[in-house]
């Protein structure tokens, strides 16, 4: 693979077909799965994130790159698991109860996967008890809550309270986001972090994992 690698370029350009074909070929030629992820794919998504922050890329480009990343990652994931590589962390993500908006949440989930996290996506309109069940069955480190409606924002608080009542709050970090959510609101409801977009969500998740390890 030449520099800048063809895989890096395919993900940066949001070309899922090429990303898939290049990954397939690289694996067939004996490429190391972890090296493909860390050396080519994650740097590509980091660059996508930078371009998004600088407003050179917008949501459609982000979605295309995320899709290309996911396509390549789907091929690589079994090899990563068998090589014993640890994920950056385990995240349970969902849009809270009453809220059907899932485009932003899907983007955050894809970017987190791109950032090396193991993501369990519960979908939209997720009641607190489903989050609780998922934390228990997956051993999640982080719960990520999305809300797009002002009327469903309180469901984030309810979910955090339910996690506390279930005795799980101390062993997980909670991050929240969605267009009407703010940093201040996140603090008010007892979340551990907020970020306003999907690329910042990856950086936030990494910080929360570091804080978790340090604690």
Residues between 168 and 187 with contacts to ligand B12, criterion CB under 6 A: 175-180
Per CB under 6 A, 195 contacts ligand B12:
yes
* Contacts with ligand B12, 18-57, as mask; x by CB under 6 A: ----------------------------------------
Decide: is 105 part of the binding site for ligand B12 (CB under 6 A). Answer: yes
| Chosen residue from 99, 118, 121, 141 binding ligand B12 by CB under 6 A | 99
Please give the full DSSP string across 77-88, using - where no structure is assigned. HHHHHHTTPPPS
Query: Which element (helix H / strand E) includes 94?
Result: strand 90-95
CA 88 vs. chain centroid, Å, equals 11
Total residues found in the chain within this entry: 215
Sole binder of ligand B12 in the list 64, 76, 155, 201 (CB under 6 A): 201
Binding to ligand B12 by residue 155, rule CB under 6 A? Answer: no
Shortest distance (Å) from residue 152 CB to ligand B12:
7
How is 155-207 classified by DSSP, letter by letter? HHHHHHHHHHHTT-GGG-EEEEE-TT--HHHHHHTT-SEE-SSHHHHHHHHHH
Q: With beta carbons less than 8 A apart as the criterion, state whether 175 and 199 touch.
A: no
Which secondary structure element, helix H or strand E, spans residue 107, and what is its range?
A: helix 103-114
**Given the complex with ligand B12, which of 36 and 143 has the nearer CB atom?**
143
Using CB under 6 A as the criterion, which residues of the chain lie in contact with ligand B12 when the complex forms?
Answer: 59, 98-105, 107-108, 144-146, 148-151, 175-180, 195-198, 201
């Amino acid at each position: 693979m030449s520099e800048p690698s063809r895989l890096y370029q395919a993900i940066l350009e949001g070309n899922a077909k090429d990303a898939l074909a290049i990954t397939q070929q690289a694996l067939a030629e004996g490429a190391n799965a972890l090296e493909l992820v860390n050396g080519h794919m994650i740097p590509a998504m980091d660059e996508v994130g930078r371009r998004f922050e600088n407003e050179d890329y917008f949501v459609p480009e982000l979605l295309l790159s995320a899709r290309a990343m996911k396509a390549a990652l789907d091929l690589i994931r079994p090899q990563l698991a068998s090589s014993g590589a640890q994920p950056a962390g385990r995240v349970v993500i969902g849009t809270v109860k009453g809220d059907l908006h899932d485009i932003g949440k899907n983007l955050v989930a894809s970017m987190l996967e791109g950032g090396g996290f193991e993501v369990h996506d519960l979908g939209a309109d997720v009641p607190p008890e489903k989050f609780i069940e998922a934390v228990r069955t997956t051993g999640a480190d982080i719960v990520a809550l999305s809300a797009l409606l002002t009327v469903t924002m309180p469901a984030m608080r309810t979910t955090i309270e339910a996690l506390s009542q279930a005795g799980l709050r101390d062993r997980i970090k909670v991050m929240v986001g969605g267009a009407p959510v703010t940093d201040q609101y996140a603090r008010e409801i007892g979340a551990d972090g907020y970020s306003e977009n999907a690329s910042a969500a990856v950086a936030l998740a990494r910080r929360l994992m570091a804080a978790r390890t340090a604690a």
